[in-house]
């Protein structure tokens, strides 16, 4: 039940403190919520970066819950 992200492993249900990266952006927050690991990472570039929220459910699944949360006005 591990998910590989650039030589880092995060397991569903694991508390993740270190910074992780994947091809979509940099993880800057990952929290344990019950059986899932909630990972929030940024995508895009200034002046219009986005926050992407996903839940690691299995070894090959990161489900996007919500996206396109603007950090700065357009």
State mean pLDDT over 39-68: 47
pLDDT score, position 21: 47
**Mean pLDDT of all residues in 35-63:** 49
pLDDT in tens, 12-34: 444 444 444 444 555 545 555 55
User: What are 7's two structure tokens?
Assistant: 């030589």
Q: How far apart are CA 28 and CA 69, in angstroms?
A: 15
Instruction: Determine the Cα–Cα distance for residues 49 and 5; give it in Å rounded to an integer.
Output: 21
């Amino acid at each position: 039940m591990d998910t590989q992200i650039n030589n880092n492993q995060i397991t569903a249900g694991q508390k993740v403190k270190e910074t992780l990266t994947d091809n979509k952006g940099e993880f800057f927050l990952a929290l344990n919520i019950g059986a899932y690991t909630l990972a929030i990472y940024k995508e895009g570039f200034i002046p219009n970066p986005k926050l992407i929220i996903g839940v690691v459910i299995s070894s090959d699944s990161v489900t996007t819950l919500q996206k396109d949360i603007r950090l700065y006005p357009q």
